[in-house]
Structure 1
Amino acid sequence: MWDPQTYLTYADERTRPARDLLAAVDVEQPARVVDLGCGTGTSTRLLARRWPDADVLGTDSSPEMIAAARTELAEPGAALCRYEVADASTWAPDEPVDVWFSNAMLQWLPDHLDRLPGWLGTVAPGGALAFQVPGNVESPSHVLLREATRSPAWRDRLAGIPERREAVEAPVRYADVLAAAGARPDVWETTYLHRLDGPDPVLRWTRGTALRPVLAVLEGDEAAREAFLADYGAALRTAYPPNSDGTVTFPFRRIFVVARVPA
């Protein structure tokens, strides 16, 4: 179960990559736009504001996230878009789309590289497939999380949690697969140096994403959850010491892909 409020703790930092990805999508007046794995709809609303005349659909497998996204539709001045609960691993549009967009979701699908040619096939001529995935599986936050789940204190309890090390591919692999499928890929990577504030900021960040599988396994056992968070949080504080102003620098590498379909 996803927690929209936890995910949005650092909403500005999480939205920055979506804005940067969208700025690189050069498609004029698309009729149909899809945001696959839209979460709370922040990226979907960016798409709707960019193309107000398009039919903009956001999909997510989490009913909690979709409920939060729909709540925003009632806000004054909200961009017009629609949402539906859908499993990204099986969802397919019923007709070609002009912009196929996904922000920080494909890393949850281990076989997403193999799916790219099929997804590209749903994009209309002249359209684009654009996505962004985190490329930080070797950063201290993720390495320490893997070490914690494998430690003697937790390895039996947390056995079976999916290994995410191979879920994200090297940028050149994305470019090669999409080019072989007939697209013109533009692939790059960026490392953001987020300066996070608040208590245990990196722990708060990971509670919204990477920690979700662990927290799901420990659901219902509050003592175990708190004990694991204490162990992992202590390791994070050592790996990410505070700056002189009290913030914590959290480097976050991301991989961006925009694949244009020839007109």
Structure 2
Amino acid sequence: MPAADTTTWDPRQYLRHSGHRARPFVDLLARVPELPATDDRPPRIADLGCGPGNVTRLLAERWPTAHITGFDNSPDMLERASGLAGPTAGGGSLEFASADAGSWAPPAGTYDLILSNATLQWVPGHPDSFPAWTAALTPGGTFAFQVPGNFDAPSHVLMRELSESERWRDRLAGRLRHADAVLSPTAYLERLASLGCEVDAWETTYLHLLEGQDPVLDWVKGTGLRPVLTALAGEPTEVREAFLSEYRDLLRKAYPRTAHGTVFPFRRVFAVARKPA
């Protein structure tokens, strides 16, 4: 759900590693405290950057009576998510709507929980939106998110170096995010604590064991490589395949296949901020 960005998204490619991608969301959700008690209305939850909705529906399992809205600015992702919309088994509801995380600012006291999973890294200057998002919480409400923290990993470093090489820079230079796309856990903690929130911030490195031929390439085709694939979409097929071939060879060396599969370390940064009651 990038702001002011033309990247196109492929829900089917994204969901090819849905089990691995969902795990950080589940870990984040486990640290979210109970929502403020309300007798006159159901809990109200926003999932900012919901993608195809595959993890948004997990919110209904945690809060069965909640009114949950998933926001995204990708028409393809929202079309895929729309099949999950409707009443939930616990008496709540699930809906999806178009919104851009770069400009989204709901009225004060709108939500009991605002949650974002692997989205804010696409939004330049996203910490500047924290005051508006925490203001949109009800007293005792929570803002929780996780973002990739692997921009210095070989998968991203090699992608940037290749895109900025002499052969590709005319087409691709400046398309990719750099290490400053996200903050450190400490910096997020300080930003949110300065807003008066009680903050839990941490990082985790997952060791994903991937199967198949060139699984790291297959993974990044669904996420980090999307700006490159979008930029090359109008080029002849052989041009796109030439880039993928070069990048694939680099990834094979960086992430060698073992007898048990391909180990793909992936660092993620988490923060859970609770507004005072």
Residues 34, 101 of structure 1: 8 Å contact kept: yes
Cα distance, 1:77 vs structure 2: 6.8
Does residue 1:235 correspond to 2:250, yes or no?
yes
Please give the secondary structure, in 1, of the residue aligned with 2:179.
coil
Aligned residue type for 2:229:
L
Match of 2:152 in 1: 138
2:16 to 9, 34, 55: 9
Please give the per-residue CA displacement for 1:112-135, whole angstroms capped at 9, x wherever unaligned.
Answer: 111112211111111100000000
Give the RMSD, CA atoms, in angstroms. 1.8
Q: Is the 8 A contact 2:65 2:93 kept in 1?
A: no
The reply to whether residue 251 of structure 1 matches residue 251 of structure 2 is: no
1:71 paired with 2:71, answer: no
8 Å contact from structure 2 (residues 117, 147) kept in 1 = yes
- Determine helix, strand or coil for the equivalent of 2:169: coil
- For 1:26, the equivalent position in structure 2 comes to 33
Letter matched to residue 179 of structure 1: A
Q: Which consecutive unaligned segments of at least 5 residues does structure 2 have?
A: 1-7
Match of residue 197, structure 1, among 184, 188, 211: 211
Q: Pick closer, same or farther for the CA change 1:77–1:224 going to 2, 3 Å.
A: farther
Counterpart AA for 2:186: V
Offset, 1:27: 1.9
Give the number of aligned pairs: 262
CA contact (8 A) 2:202 2:270 kept: yes
Say if 1:27 and 1:126, in contact at 8 Å, map to a contact too: no
1:198-242 deviation digits (Å, cap 9, x = unpaired): 111000000011101111111122221111000001000000001
Where do residues 119-130 of structure 1 align in structure 2 (5 Å cutoff)? 119-130=133-144
Q: Aligned letter for 2:44? A: R
User: Which sections of structure 1, spanning at least 5 residues, go unmatched?
Assistant: none
Return the alpha-carbon distance in structure 1 between the equivalents of residues 177 and 153 of structure 2.
Answer: 15
Contact (CA 8 Å) 2:25, 2:146: kept in 1 or not? yes
Equivalent residue number for residue 42 of structure 1: 54
Runs of 4+ in 1 over 3 A off after TM superposition: 76-80
Task: State TM-score, norm by structure 1.
Answer: 0.95
- Cα pair 1:45 1:80 within 8 Å, conserved: no
Cα pair 1:117 1:177 within 8 Å, conserved: no
Match of 1:118 among 132, 144, 165: 132
2:105 paired residue number: 92
8 Å Cα contact 2:114/2:142 also seen in 1: yes
Q: Identity across aligned pairs (percent)?
A: 51
Matched-pair contact (CA < 8 Å) for 1:99–1:128 = yes
1:82 equivalent in structure 2: 95
Task: Note the 1:214-233 alignment, pairs <5 A.
Answer: 214-221=228-235, 222-233=237-248
Partner SS, residue 157 of structure 1: helix
Using the size of structure 2 for normalisation, the TM-score is: 0.90
